[in-house]
A and B are shown apart, each in its own frame.
Chain A
Amino acid sequence: MSSVKPHPRWWFLITPRWLAWHAFAVLAASGMLWLGDWQFHRAEGGNALSWAYTFEWPVFTLFGVVFWGKTIVDEWKTRVRAEAVPAAGPDQSANGLQLPGTAHTAGRADDVEDEDDPELAAYNAYLARLNSGGPGR
Chain B
Amino acid sequence: MNSRDLLRLVVWAYRIMAYITGTMLVILCFVCIPLQAFGHNEPVHIVGTAHGILYIIYIVVAFAMTRFVRMKAASAGTIIVLAAGTIPVLTFIVERWVTRTYIKPALGQPGATSSEQPVLH
List residues of A whose CB falls within 8 A of some B CB: 21, 48-49, 52-53, 56, 59-60, 63, 67, 70-71, 73-75, 98-102, 106-107, 109-110, 113, 118-123, 125-127, 130, 137
Chain B residues positioned under 8 Å from A102 (CB to CB): 2-3, 6
Identity of the chain B residue whose Cβ is nearest the Cβ of A118 in the assembled complex:
B108
B110 touches A110 (CB 8 A): no
A67 to B71, CA, bound (A): 13
B74-113: which have CB < 8 Å to A? 74, 82, 105-110
Chain A residues positioned under 8 Å from B105 (CB to CB): 126
A21 to B74, CA, bound (A): 10
- Tell me, rounded to whole Å, the shortest Cβ–Cβ distance linking B119 to chain A: 11
B43-96: which have CB < 8 Å to A? 45, 48-49, 52-53, 56, 59-60, 63, 67-68, 70, 72-74, 82
A-B contact pairs, 26 of them (CB 8 A): A21-B74, A49-B45, A49-B48, A52-B52, A56-B52, A56-B53, A59-B56, A63-B60, A63-B63, A67-B63, A67-B73, A71-B72, A71-B74, A75-B74, A99-B3, A101-B6, A102-B2, A106-B1, A106-B2, A106-B3, A109-B2, A110-B2, A110-B3, A125-B108, A126-B108, A127-B70
